[in-house]
Structure 1
Amino acid sequence: MRHFYGWATPNSQRVSIMLEECGLDYAVTGVNIRARQQFAPEILALNPYGKIPILVEEGRVLFESGAILLHLAERHSTLLGEDRPTMLSWLMVALTSLGPFTGQAHHWTDLAPEKPEAARAHSTALVDRVYRLLDARLAEVPHLAGQACTIADIAAYPWVAKHGWAARSLDATPHLAAWFARMGERPAVRRGMAVPAGARLE
């Protein structure tokens, strides 16, 4: 039995969406990061970094959302796209820019007890830059890696869903907004975004 450990975080949602896209059965354990459950001994025994998501499959423990996406895509020969190098390039944009930049912006616009304007402006400008990049790409093709949905799209979608974290709107990036709407219509995306049931980031 596959066992997924996650919460209502964009990185966790990447994996739950992928599990749904692959049509796989899996058990779910919610790990509430606001309650610091990621540092519980049983979670640290699986991932000493104390981070989610985690996927346990056939005795193998996988962590880091990008690694899990690649593992599932390769194992099940799905969502890899027609051009692997192109897919990997856009996957890396989602993993190394979109997610981290949005997370930093969330910190400086909402979570930090002190919110220096320079930090807020710098972090939101980085989000704007990657949004412009994605918008230009999606003006040319329907999905980030080309014609077909791939794990690059799955890696990006939950973070674009959190554009409010960076005090951003999708109005200025219509191609990104249209892609976001198309992705949101996928049944597996809808199901995956709701895992674990009832999980909320407060």
Structure 2
Amino acid sequence: MIVFHGWATPNSQRVSIMLEELGLAYHAHGVNIRAGEQFAPEILALNPYGKVPILQLDELVLFESGAILLHLAEAHHRFLPRDPAARAEVLAWFMVAMTSLGPFTGQAHHWTELAPEKPEAARAHSVALVARVYRLLDGRLKDRRHLAGDYSIADIAAYPWVAKHGWAAMSLDDHPHLARWFAEVGGRPAVQRGMAVPAGAKLE
């Protein structure tokens, strides 16, 4: 039995989308991060960092969304090419999603919505970092259907964070190629199912 621990966060949604794309049977356990459930003893026993997503695969326990996506891609030989050059290209864009798109959008969300004090310099800096990534992605997708070759873990890692473009005051109307990609990826049934896991989870 595969057990997925997550909530309605982009990092969690990366994993639930991947599970749905692979057609794997799994049990989804909601961990409400707004209620602090990620710090419950049973969750800390799985991930001492106190974060979701977490994936239990029999004796193997994985955390960090990027590590989970890589493991599943390699274990099931899907969404990550075996050819060294094609693999390197996918991993490069995967890392853009992991190290820039996600963290910068999260920081922008903090300084635009969550922080009790919102200094303009911090807000402007964080939003500018996201805007730079959006320009990069839009340019990349100008003449490509996906971020790197066929649909891959790069697209899976990026999609849930682009879905939160409002967190960083971004408009997809200003990025037509990214908007086209977003609509196409969002139309995949597995993506739609994965974005709704765990059932009823909301970030409020």
C-alpha RMSD over aligned residues: 0.7
Q: Partner amino acid for 2:22? A: C
Cα deviation 1:94-148 (Å, max 9, x = unaligned):
00000000000000000000000000000000000000000000012110112x1
Aligned counterpart, 1:136: 139
SS at the partner of 1:80? coil
Among residues 104, 120, 126, which one is paired with 2:107 in the alignment? 104
Aligned counterpart, 1:50: 50
Aligned counterpart, 2:196: 194
Aligned counterpart, 2:18: 18
CA deviation after TM superposition for structure 1 residue 58, in Å: 1.7
Among residues 152, 155, 174, which one is paired with 1:153 in the alignment? 155
Aligned residues: 201
Question: What is the rounded CA distance, in whole Å, between the counterparts of 1:116 and 1:58 in structure 2?
Answer: 46
Cα deviation 1:175-201 (Å, max 9, x = unaligned):
000000000000000000000000000
CA deviation after TM superposition for structure 1 residue 87, in Å: 0.2
Q: Partner amino acid for 1:142? A: R
Question: What is the rounded CA distance, in whole Å, between the counterparts of 2:168 and 2:119 in structure 1?
Answer: 15
Aligned counterpart, 1:60: 60
Aligned counterpart, 2:87: 84
Q: Partner amino acid for 1:53? A: P
In structure 1, list runs of 5 or more residues that go unmatched.
none
Question: What is the rounded CA distance, in whole Å, between the counterparts of 2:148 and 2:33 in structure 1?
Answer: 32
Question: What is the rounded CA distance, in whole Å, between the counterparts of 2:129 and 2:173 in structure 1?
Answer: 17
CA deviation after TM superposition for structure 1 residue 74, in Å: 0.6
TM-score if structure 1 supplies the norm length? Answer: 0.98
Percent identity (aligned): 76
Once superposed, which parts of structure 1, at least 4 consecutive aligned residues long, lie more than 3 Å away? none
Among residues 115, 119, 128, which one is paired with 2:118 in the alignment? 115
Q: Partner amino acid for 2:77? A: S
Aligned counterpart, 2:9: 9
SS at the partner of 2:143? coil
Question: What is the rounded CA distance, in whole Å, between the counterparts of 1:58 and 1:85 in structure 2?
Answer: 30
Aligned counterpart, 1:174: 176
In structure 2, list runs of 5 or more residues that go unmatched.
none
In terms of mean alpha carbon deviation, does 136-145 or 75-84 score higher?
A: 75-84
